[in-house]
Amino acid sequence: MIKVKVPATSANIGPGFDTLGIALQLYNTFFFEEIDEGLEINGCDNDYANENNLVYTSMLETFKKIGYEAKGIKITLNTNIPIARGLGSSAACILGGVIGANEIAKASLSKGEILEIATEIEGHPDNIAPALFGGLVVSVTEDENIYYNKINIANGIKFVVLIPDFTLSTSEAREVLPSTVNYKDAIYNVGRVSLLLSALSNGRFDLLKASLMDRLHQPYRKKLIPKGDEIINKSYELGALGTYISGAGPTIMAIIKDNNMNFTVSIKNYLNFINCNWTVKELDLNLSGVGIEKGIKE
């Protein structure tokens, strides 16, 4: 049996729309086994335990590309990444399926090839790349090629996810975006994303609030998060260095100093006070990406 452990990811990171992503220590774990026939999926709701399961369809797409025909497949899921919250749950399922298929077929796909297949299924690499490689990753596509670079983040910060008790699909979050952007807004974002990368790599965390500002997606998506502005403002009052909408939302990410011991409890109390039944988690960066173990026994 093969075990594939895929980290959650937080994409966009303010002005880095569709290009930036980080991997976090929250995981979906998948167990794969080739069986004599059929399909067996365990560990998820019955609605997903079928041939339309994203992990399984990603496996089939990979088998097709590498020319392998499995007799039957057994998949067992242990999922901790919340669905449709902006933490890369679909990317984790896709990447798990691609890697599981590669391992079953003994195809020896490179990480670059895995990235290409998974991105083709997902549609963009901003969640796939950090989940695969770990840490903070910049990724872009050009002429069907994927270019990516991993960037070191200086020590001294930690990430706190504020996860709402409602979902928001990526398609819903994209529908509210304008079809064109103002030239000044584009320049605004180029400056902020440049400042953000330098601030994170050089430890200039005092620049995070300014560098996380954005005009391309967050102003529109915030309207889909009830009390979103109020919660962000309170986060800053409680000592957050920066905040942003994680992925397409509705999760809000707060970046705090690693010696700030009061923020998490205080923001939990505040959310309870304003009747928001949100989950709050402190998450460290995952720096290694996907983990794979072979020969696992049930």
**Distance from C-alpha of 83 to C-alpha of 85, rounded to nearest angstrom:** 6
Q: Any known ligand binding at 173?
A: no
Q: Any known ligand binding at 91?
A: yes
Give the residue numbers annotated as catalytic, written as ranges: 116, 170
Q: What is the dihedral of CA 263, 267, 270, 272, to 10 degrees?
A: -130
Task: Assess contact for 277 and 166: CB atoms under 8 A.
Answer: no
Nearest to 4 by CA among 31, 25, 40: 31
Q: Any known ligand binding at 211?
A: no
Q: Any known ligand binding at 90?
A: yes
Q: List the 252-257 sheet strands across, edge first.
A: 242-245, 252-257, 157-163, 279-283
Q: Any known ligand binding at 186?
A: no
Task: Assess contact for 7 and 289: CB atoms under 8 A.
Answer: yes
Q: Any known ligand binding at 83?
A: yes
Nearest to 7 by CA among 65, 86, 104, 81: 81
Q: Any known ligand binding at 105?
A: no
Nearest to 86 by CA among 271, 245, 287: 245
Q: Any known ligand binding at 254?
A: no
End-to-end CA distance of the chain: 8
Q: Which two tokens stand for residue 54?
A: 């994203």
Q: Any known ligand binding at 88?
A: yes
Output the known binding site: 82-92
Output the known binding site for ATP: 82-92
